[in-house]
Chain A
Amino acid sequence: MPPVVKYAIAGFIVLNVVIGLVTYVTLLERKFAARMQSRIGPYYVGWPHGWLQPIADALKLMMKEDVVPTAADRWVYNLAPIAFLIPCILIFATIPFAPGLGVADLNIGVLFFLAVSSLEIVGLFMGGWGSNNKYALISAMRAVNQIISYDLPFVFTALVPVVLAGSLQMSAIVDAQRGLFGWYVCTPLGLLAFVAFLVATLAAENRVPFDILEAESELVAGFRVEYSGMKFALIQLAEYAHMIGTSFLGALLFLGGWLGPGADRWLLVGSVWFLLKAMFVFLVVTWVRWSFVRIRVDQILAISWKLLLPASVLLLMATALMVALQGPRAG
């Protein structure tokens, strides 16, 4: 079998797994939020506990009328959901779900992830601009501001495990975290980096308290106010895919990926561990989302440039210094 075909098949499988996962993560989030708000959440579509709800939502969105505003820039408007979705799906290419289980375990995996995930801003801006709506325009402006500001600390904190492990390859970083308390989150520098990573993640994913792009009480729905039907579904899919991808990255870099009891014996156990850790990161982000209020655009930029960026640069420099002085296992 030529490698191209092999990669194509692997890519197809991962794509479908990701889409299925994204669909059901929305249900997980809704149930989790409902518990926080002393509600029940989706219940009626499918027994038990509304497990068919995501399918019903997807069907509903597919059947909705697709409205394009007359004043929209049609090409940009129609391309934006795709331009937004592609980078959000591509980030899964380098993620290994268990040793050797993934599309491509590149030797620059982390770099690839960071580079591709920052491309989502193009789609966001296209959507905001192409809609020719004032709310969407302001949202696009905010998007550029925010995502550029938070990609830098995001990259710097993600580089802390890279420096500790001495490799940009995802599987090598996981292997470096073997042993009792070997996960980078258990080391002091790693813990600080993990917290900063979570904050940057919130902003990069546009979750409350950093969801000023969507800001439905100010900008109605921001850049996606004019989207409906399947295009809206694609945007939603891309957002959740990005969120899961970042949770996977967090689990790989800080929580030891697939490491756990029985993971070395059975491949499947390893991927289950990995999934559980990723869901933990996802639920922490969700927990923050459902308990904070949104902050203002100038405050978001101030947090990034005055606090998070210097802190993450210092953290990276401290890590580099430790590694240079004591060798890679310094932490």
Chain B
Amino acid sequence: MPDRRAPEASAGAATAEAKAVRTLEIGYGGNERLVMNMGPQHPSAHGVFRAILTLEGETVVAVDAVIGYLHRCHEKLAETLTYVQYPSIASKTDYVSAMTAELTYVAAVEKVGKIDVPRRAQYLRVLVAELQRIASHCLWLGTWCMDMGGALGGGATVFLYAIRERELILDLFESLTGARLLYGFHQVGGVRYDLPEGWAATCRETVALIERRLFEYEAMLEDNAFFLVRTQGVGVISPELALDVGVCGPLARGSGIKYDVRTAEPYSSYEDFAVKVPVETAGDCYARYKVRMAEFRESIRLVRAVLDGLPEGAISSRPGVKSVGQVRIPKGEGYTRVEGARGELGCYLVADGGPKPYRLKWRGASFSNLSILPHIIPGCKIADVVAIMGSVDPVFGEVDR
């Protein structure tokens, strides 16, 4: 009779091969340990993430993170598509905040090709980037609470509220670009669409509504003792560890590292807006929550500032697109980085003078953030694993590319 438990044995072998970064010794002894698969098909896998947990009772003693289930050869694909075609594909790296990825790619092309961007286009880029950050954080808040609170509990309530707000921003994007998820808004030398009539007024109303609703979320979560005990002191990342592993974005700022690409190396005229960078020092899930809630408000302020100071003028320094091979940039290479909703999104571009890049490399924020998991998960309970995963806010399109 065949051994029906063979799949478990092979999972154990995978653990031995992969070698956990850190294993906690509790003292049950090896034969009391249980190897459990979380993912790639799992309600809180945030896409397709596989974590092989080694458990002693409820406590996780080691974790192996397996990624690559969503690999779509993005970097190779970039070599086969022209500078005109790729921006709408670039948005698929991080499909939750597609505007940021487009911006990174076109910024890299403009840097290598030394192409100017009109001021109005730069402001419009800031506008959509900040709206995108709000939309992305809405999704983060909803899914994170759903991880902790259950699809049949209070978490689902927060999820539906947050999605309701995200929809409003997607409506704005739809009237701006015609698309709700993958926009194709940016193009080399500027942006493709100008604001439609009345759009700015709708945008102001929307962000005002979201600003009011933020107080509702905070009342629901921060006054809730159960939310606090689930997040405070859980998944603490020390500033040293954050620097060693190279986490970025809200994770680093939650650990007391005041670093934001928007202020450290301003791009797309961010220097005009005096971005305030929220920092929390606790380093736990709650600190990351506080940072993101502060970022909500900062983004809303930036959206208003952009709408107030939007200059007149052209939206692109190049003529409209007539053929896919229209944009050619000279030989050279360059790296640009952008502060996305999840942290520093980078794009390294090597051009050989043709209409297509010679080589492209993405630096995904989710990828470097995800690598913190094996350092902070051992010693946690199973329930903390999902809370920490949610607070890292990975998007697997960006991890695997």
Instruction: Please report A residues at the B interface, Cβ cutoff 8 Å.
Output: 33, 36-39, 70-71, 134-135, 137-138, 141-142, 207-209, 211-212, 214-220, 289-299
Contacts and interface: CB of A to CB of B under 8 A. Distances in A.
B155 A293 contact: yes
Contacts of A218: 44, 382-383, 385-386
Contact of A297 (B44, B58, B152, B220): B58
Given A38-B161, A220-B43, A293-B145, A70 B4 contact: yes
Interface stretch (B182-190, B222-230, B308-316, B347-355): B222-230
Contact of B383 (A39, A137, A215, A291): A215
A37 B164 CA distance: 10
A218 to B, nearest CB: 5
B359 to A, nearest CB: 40
Contacts, number: 118
A293 B57 CA distance: 23
Given A134-B34, A297-B383, A71 B5 contact: yes
Nearest to A39: B160
Contacts of B146: 217
A36 B383 contact: no
Interface string B108-133: 00000000000000000000000000
A211 B220 CA distance: 19
B155 to A, nearest CB: 6
B246 interface: no
B224 A138 contact: no
Given A218-B385, A298-B381, A293 B4 contact: no
B156 A292 contact: no
B150 interface: yes
Given A217-B386, A294-B148, A38 B160 contact: yes
Given A39-B160, A218-B382, A298-B381, A291 B43 contact: no
Q: Which of B43, B154, B381 has the most CB of A within 10 A?
A: B154
A136 to B, nearest CB: 11
Contact of A138 (B4, B58, B148): B58
B43 to A, nearest CB: 5
A216 B58 contact: no
The 4 closest A-B pairs by CB, nearest first: A208-B153, A293-B149, A217-B44, A292-B154
A273 to B, nearest CB: 30
B151 interface: yes
21 contacts: A37-B156, A138-B36, A141-B58, A208-B149, A208-B155, A214-B152, A217-B44, A217-B151, A218-B382, A218-B386, A220-B42, A220-B43, A292-B154, A292-B224, A293-B226, A293-B230, A294-B153, A295-B229, A296-B383, A297-B383, A299-B230
Contacts of A36: 157
B157 A37 contact: yes
Contact of A209 (B44, B154, B160, B164): B154
B147 A217 contact: yes
A37 B149 contact: no
Contacts of A209: 149, 153-154, 226
Contacts of B226: 209, 292-295
A293 B154 contact: yes
Interface of B: 4-5, 34, 36-37, 42-44, 55, 57-58, 145-157, 160-161, 164, 220, 224, 226-227, 229-230, 381-386
A296 B230 contact: yes
A299 B229 contact: yes
Given A36-B157, A293-B224, A296-B230, A208 B5 contact: no
Contacts of A216: 43, 150-152
Contacts of B230: 293-296, 299
Q: Which of A135, A137, A291 has the most CB of B within 10 A?
A: A291
A58 B241 CA distance: 52
Contacts of B4: 70-71
Contacts of B42: 220
A270 to B, nearest CB: 34
Q: Which of B55, B161, B230 has the most CB of A within 10 A?
A: B230
Nearest to A29: B152
A112 B16 CA distance: 52
Nearest to A217: B44
Nearest to B38: A218
Contacts of A296: 229-230, 381, 383-384
A212 B226 CA distance: 13
Contacts of A298: 58, 381
A290 B157 contact: yes
A37 B44 CA distance: 21
B148 A293 contact: yes
Given A216-B150, A297-B381, 8 more contacts: A38-B164, A138-B34, A209-B153, A289-B152, A290-B154, A291-B157, A294-B155, A295-B226
Contacts of B44: 217-218
B37 to A, nearest CB: 8
A295 to B, nearest CB: 5
Contacts of B5: 71
Contacts of B386: 217-218
A142 B383 CA distance: 12
A146 B226 CA distance: 17
Nearest to B221: A293
Contact of B148 (A137, A217, A297): A217
Contacts of A291: 154, 157, 220, 224
Contacts of B229: 295-296, 299
Contacts of B147: 217
Nearest to A208: B153
B153 A292 contact: yes
Contact of B153 (A39, A219, A220, A290): A290
Given A70-B4, A220-B42, A295-B226, A214 B164 contact: no
Given A39-B160, A70-B4, A217-B44, A293 B153 contact: yes
A71 B55 CA distance: 21
A141 B149 CA distance: 20
A62 B269 CA distance: 62
A37 to B, nearest CB: 4
A218 B36 CA distance: 11
A121 B42 CA distance: 26
Nearest to B234: A296
A214 B57 CA distance: 17
A298 to B, nearest CB: 6
Contacts of B150: 208, 211, 214-217, 293-294
Nearest to A142: B58
